[in-house]
Structure 1
């Protein structure tokens, strides 16, 4: 009887989250923002939602300790909390503020806090957020600069990584060699799908709140 060899984790994460990813990236709020139909205030609202999410994610990653199931992909250069705070302060000085936290963010933070100490689940969340920032996040930065004339207040999308493509390739290679059990692997895949779904819900909540 032939044994089925599972796909590399990086490929499995991509394939298993494809539908959830598409729902998120085609949400009206984000497509309007990127298409020039939104405003700088919409970007600020999005950055404000992102801050508690990254605070929770980065705290959870610190709390997991030296676990070989996730340590190879952890990198302080990816941390976004300080950049988000700096961007929000820049926009505040420019007269752009948004203080409300939408319900989906509260659920997202609760999800991440529940993953503290759970290396397998954190892999999925780490993959969605940081690989997304190094990929789609760069497109968002380009589009908001083009449409809204913003040159500053975008450090969230800027990394001290010289060659992002090489970095992403190495990140995927590291994912593929993590010492995971079958249960760990499934937990990572499930967490990644939840992350995309929560991200989608943030966009829906911002749209429902009338944020442009």
Structure 2
């Protein structure tokens, strides 16, 4: 019987999350913000929701130690917590702030805290957040600058990485080389899908809260 060779992990992550990814990126809140029909306050609200998510993710990644199943993709250059705090402070000084943390964020944080010590699940969350920031995040930065005249308070979307495309290619290669069992691989794929679903729920909650 012919043995089916599984797709490289980076390919599997992309393909298995395609539906959840599309659902998230076409949510009304984010399409309105990207299309210039939102406000700068909407961006600030989005950054405010992101802060506890990255705090939880980066805490979990620091706690995983040198586990070879995830260590090769961990890189302090990707950390976003401090840039988020700085951006929110910049916006607050300009009179823009958000005190709301929507329920989906609380669920997202709980999900990440439950993944502490679980390298396989953290791979999926790491992939969704940081590869997304290096890709779609750059588009968000461009569009909010264009539509809302913002120049400051966007360091969340800026990375100290000279060649982002090369970095992303190397990241995918590192993903593909991770020493994962079949169960680890399934956990990583499932976690990535949950991450996109939670992102989608954040957008829905912001829309329901009337934030533009």
Q: State how far apart, in whole Å, the 2-side matches of 1:21 and 1:166 are.
A: 23
Question: Structure 2 regions of 5+ residues with no counterpart?
Answer: none
Q: How far, CA to CA, are the matches of 1:65 and 1:2 in structure 2? A: 39
Give the corresponding residue for 1:80: 80
- Secondary structure at 1:138's aligned position in 2? helix
Q: How does 1:186-201 map to 2 (within 5 A)?
A: 186-201=186-201
TM-score by length of 2: 1.00
Match of 2:5 in 1: 5
Q: What's the CA shift string for 1:168-202, capped at 9, x where partnerless?
A: 00000000000000000000000000000000000
Normalising by structure 1, we get a TM-score of 1.00
| Matched residue count | 212
| Structure 1 residue ranges, 4+ long, deviating more than 3 angstroms after superposition | none
For 1:27-106, what aligned pairs fall within 5 Å after superposition?
27-106=27-106
Q: Distance in 2 between matches of 1:99 and 1:131?
A: 28
Tell me by how many angstroms 1:57 deviates: 0.1
Query: What is the SS of the residue equivalent to 2:207?
Result: helix
Distance in 1 between the 2:115 and 2:61 partners?
9
Superposed CA offset, 1:25-64 (max 9, x none)? 0000000000000000000000000000000000000011
Alignment RMSD? 0.3
Distance 2:156 2:99 in 1: 18
CA distance in 1, matches of 2:68, 2:75: 14
Alignment of 1:47-196 (within 5 A): 47-196=47-196
Task: Name the SS for the 2:101 alignment partner.
Answer: coil
